[in-house]
């Protein structure tokens, strides 16, 4: 020992001895007896010990308690609940005051498995008191902790595709198998709603995925609300370790999609059905101030998103009847206006703008015919909607949603620059924000739509706000889009329409008079009715002209009916549905169509002879489509110079 250090120790001893003269004379020892826990311990461990001080009188002093996982390195032990604040020494070991120290082992060791030793020392050590520290024998300690990782903190089990939400469970530490149980508890009532099945024995450290389908033990969807997912891990007789997380069960979904004009980037055209009910001439314009796609409660139903049973309301598929809207006897007007999916019409190459309306209510599966809320907005978890192939018209408009809210989206890509029937699909997903990050909510809503693209604004009327029957008819639009089905010029539209009127319907010339036409009146409803029933009457030229012009106007290319008169001395021709003949000596008059004020003519009624000798066999067939006026007359008649255009006929479509 160095001389300097010896001097310091000596001085310290002397000073201490001066202040405690009694101790210096007796110097009794103090013993510590520590009980070693007899079984596997966890969490708060009770350490029992006794301090035996044989001095008279016994003293009061504090102790310091340490723990060690390896018997070498001792660290201060964290007290749990303090059972005794002052440690009283006793003079004899038995009976003696037994003191307890409640060790919060989890706070010190974290999750662990192993042997631990507890050491107890006098707090005022160094006073010269003979104090023999005490230790337990190493005893087993297991501190375990289950952990839950949720796929999503926000969950709508009724959202299509959200079959279940994954709950990842893992118990630490590894090395042993735990008994694991999971349950879902209603956060509001604390009543259990579902016991989740998983592996009953789970090896420590191994993650286990358990899926919750959002249903209770009876297989019913739980109502929208907050739920706690509770996991319990146990080992032998130890108290269970538990962990829980809250999941917000919400009800999300699209209740309406309304197609809108998109300014210069796209014009929507209102469509109509030519039958609203069983009667002809009762029309139905698809409302342009309501969604074209919607789900909603019919009479007696309590929710838009769900049926009264609580089951999610099926998404309507595109309405296939081209003649009339879906019927609803319970609706005053007889038209289904709650849940439907009606066709849409745009200018070609338009970029649709779509207004989405969120569902506003759900229905309980637990208590039928009971409306529930949607359980959002959620405090701290704003929700947003994302359209698969579109973006919000106003940035951020799709965030912080509330039930019944509306969001405008612009499609990412334009519709085809074609006259066409398109099937357009949208998918809507939802996300919630937790902190700075957005997290997906399982599932999505998908919709499909029939979207027709026309050449231009329909020309059935010059009115800027046409009313039925001057709106484009769904049945007509469907036919003309099917005929063209691709890119088209105005000439192409005329050609497709003329050729299809000539061949598509299987029409035959004959009978006596134009069955569907009067001079200024085209009974299109009856024509389509007969088309549907395959019961056409034989037709005449005015019917053909009306059909060509009506279809072409529907597609957006203006055509006029042109009356040629009079006394048209005929060449050979194939009247529609017939064969080569000179049908009559004369036509008193003849109706054709023109899209350019009579410069060219189209005629779906008469296929003419184009071999240079139209008045005699053989024949070379040509259907007049955009044919120069003068040339047309030379093919049609023997006396082209003796007649001409007498009138451009306007007409009503009924």
Binding site for another protein (CB under 8 A): 256, 276, 279-285, 287-291, 294, 296, 332-334, 357, 465, 467-468, 508, 510-515, 517-520, 523, 526, 529, 533-535, 537-538, 540-542, 563, 565-567, 578, 581-590, 646-647, 649
Q: How far is the CB of 581 from another protein (least distance, A)?
A: 7
For 255, what's the count of Cα atoms within 13 Å in the CB-facing half-sphere? 24
Contact 27, 76 (CB under 8 A): no
Q: Shortest gap between Cβ of 519 and another protein (angstroms)?
A: 4
Q: What DSSP assignment string belongs to 544-607? A: HHHHHHHHHHHHT---EEEEEEEEEEB--EEETTS-EE---SEEEEEEEEESSTTSEEB-SSEE
Distance CA 268, CA 352 (A): 8
- In the complex with another protein, the residue whose CB is nearer, 328 or 485, is 328
Nearer to another protein, 16 or 508 (CB): 508
Nearer to another protein, 126 or 579 (CB): 579
CA distance 324 to 614: 45
Residue in the structure block whose two tokens are 């050729």: 499
**Identity of the residue, 136 or 525, whose beta carbon is nearer to another protein in the bound complex:** 525
State the minimum distance, in angstroms, from the CB of residue 583 to another protein.
7
What is the closest distance, in whole angstroms, from the C-beta atom of residue 637 to another protein in the complex? Answer: 12
| Beta carbon of residue 408, minimum distance to another protein (angstroms, whole number) | 14
Measured from the CB atom, is 374 or 419 closer to another protein? 374
Collapsing DSSP to helix, strand or coil, 422 comes out as: strand
Least separation, in Å, of the C-beta of 615 and another protein?
A: 14
CB of 255 to another protein, least distance (A): 8
CB of 520 to another protein, least distance (A): 6
**How many other C-beta atoms can be found within 10 angstroms of the C-beta atom of residue 11?**
10
Which pair of structure tokens corresponds to residue 228? 């706690």
**Residue 511 φ/ψ region, left for φ over 0, alpha for ψ in the -120 to 50 degree band, beta for the rest:** left
Q: Number of C-alpha atoms within 13 angstroms, CB side, residue 5?
A: 2
Given a contact cutoff of 8 angstroms between Cβ atoms, the answer to whether 77 and 108 are in contact is yes
Write down the least CB distance from residue 257 to another protein, Å: 11
Cβ proximity to another protein, 331 vs 417, nearer residue: 331
Q: Which strand (E) or helix (H) includes residue 9?
A: helix 3-19
| Four-residue CA torsion sign, 167, 171, 176, 181 | negative
Closer by beta carbon to another protein, 586 or else 631: 586
Instruction: Using alpha carbons, select from 86, 123, 118, 85 the residue that is nearest to residue 103.
Output: 118
Q: Which is nearer to another protein, 147 or 282 (CB)?
A: 282
Q: Could you say which DSSP state residue 288 is in?
A: T
**Nearer of residues 202 and 575 to another protein, judged by Cβ:** 575
- Could you tell me where the beta strands, DSSP code E, fall in 417-505? 420-434, 437-454
Least distance to another protein, CB of residue 577, Å: 9
Q: Write out the two tokens for 284.
A: 């139905």
Residue with Cβ nearer another protein (57 or 332):
332
- Residue 260 C-beta: closest distance to another protein, Å: 12
Do residues 233 and 170 make contact, with C-beta atoms less than 8 angstroms apart?
no
Residue 129 or 255: the one with the smaller Cβ distance to another protein is: 255
CA 101/CA 65 separation, integer angstroms? 9
Contact 638, 573 (CB under 8 A): no
Q: Which helix (H) or strand (E) element contains residue 427?
A: strand 420-434
The C-alpha atoms of residue 650 and residue 542 are separated, in whole angstroms, by 12
Sheet of strand 344-347, all strands in order from the earlier edge strand to the far edge: 344-347, 437-454, 420-434, 383-387
């Amino acid at each position: 020992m160095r001389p300097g250090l010896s001097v310091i120790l000596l001085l310290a001893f002397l000073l201490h001895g001066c202040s405690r003269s009694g101790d210096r004379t007796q110097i009794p020892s103090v013993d510590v007896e520590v009980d070693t826990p007899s079984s596997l311990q966890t969490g708060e461990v009770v350490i029992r010990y006794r301090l035996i001080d044989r001095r008279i009188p016994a003293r009061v002093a504090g102790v310091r308690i340490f723990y060690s996982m390896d018997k070498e390195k001792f660290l201060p032990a964290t007290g749990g609940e303090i059972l005794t604040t002052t440690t009283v020494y006793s003079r004899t070991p038995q009976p003696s005051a037994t003191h307890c120290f409640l060790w919060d082992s989890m706070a010190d060791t974290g999750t662990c498995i192993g042997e631990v030793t507890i050491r107890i020392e006098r707090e005022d050590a160094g006073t010269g008191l003979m104090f023999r520290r005490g230790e337990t024998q190493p005893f087993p300690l297991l501190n375990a902790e289950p952990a839950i990782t949720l796929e999503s903190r926000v969950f709508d089990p009724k959202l299509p595709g959200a079959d279940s939400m994954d709950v990842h469970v893992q118990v630490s530490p590894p090395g042993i198998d735990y008994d694991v149980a999971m349950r879902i508890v209603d956060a509001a009532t604390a009543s259990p709603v579902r016991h989740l099945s998983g592996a009953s024995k789970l090896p420590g450290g191994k993650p286990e995925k358990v899926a919750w389908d959002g249903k209770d033990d009876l297989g019913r969807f739980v109502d929208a609300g907050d739920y706690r997912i509770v996991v319990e891990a146990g080992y032998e007789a130890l108290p269970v370790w538990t962990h829980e997380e809250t999941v917000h069960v919400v009800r999300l979904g699209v209740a309406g999609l309304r197609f809108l004009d998109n300014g210069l980037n796209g014009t929507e055209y209102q469509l109509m059905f030519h039958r609203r009910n069983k009667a002809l001439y009762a029309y139905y314009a698809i409302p342009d101030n309501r969604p074209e796609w919607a789900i909603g409660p019919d009479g007696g139903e309590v929710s838009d998103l769900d049926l009264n049973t609580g089951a999610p309301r099926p998404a309507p598929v595109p309405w296939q009847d081209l003649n009339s809207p879906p019927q609803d006897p319970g609706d005053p007007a007889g038209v289904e206006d709650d849940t439907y999916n009606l066709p849409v019409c745009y200018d070609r190459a338009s970029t649709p703008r779509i207004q989405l309306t969120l569902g506003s209510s759900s229905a309980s599966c637990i208590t039928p015919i009971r409306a529930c809320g949607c359980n959002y907005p959620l405090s701290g978890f704003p929700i947003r909607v994302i359209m698969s192939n579109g973006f919000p018209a106003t940035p951020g408009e799709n965030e912080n949603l509330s039930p019944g809210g509306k969001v405008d989206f612009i499609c990412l890509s334009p519709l085809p620059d074609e006259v066409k029937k398109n099937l357009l699909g949208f998918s809507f997903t939802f996300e919630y924000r937790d902190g700075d990050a957005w997290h997906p909510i399982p599932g999505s809503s998908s919709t499909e739509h029939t979207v027709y693209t026309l050449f231009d604004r329909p020309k059935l009327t010059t009115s800027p706000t046409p009313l039925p029957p001057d709106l484009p008819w769904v049945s007509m639009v469907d036919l003309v889009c099917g005929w063209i089905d691709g890119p088209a010029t105005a000439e192409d539209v005329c050609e497709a329409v003329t050729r299809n009127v000539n061949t598509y319907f299987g029409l035959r010339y004959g009978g006596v008079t134009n069955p569907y036409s009067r001079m200024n009146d085209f009974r299109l409803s009856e024509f389509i009715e007969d088309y549907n029933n395959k019961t056409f009457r034989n037709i005449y030229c005015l019917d053909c002209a009306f059909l060509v012009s009506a279809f072409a106007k529907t597609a957006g290319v203006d055509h006029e009916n042109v009356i040629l008169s009079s006394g048209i001395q005929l060449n050979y021709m194939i009247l529609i549905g017939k064969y080569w003949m000179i049908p009559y000596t004369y036509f008193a008059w003849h109706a054709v169509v023109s899209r350019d004020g009579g410069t060219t003519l189209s005629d779906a009624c008469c296929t003419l002879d184009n071999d240079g000798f139209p008045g005699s066999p053989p024949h070379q067939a040509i259907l007049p489509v955009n044919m120069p006026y003068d040339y047309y007359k030379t093919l049609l008649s023997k006396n082209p110079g003796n007649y001409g255009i007498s009138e451009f006929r306007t007409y009503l479509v009924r």
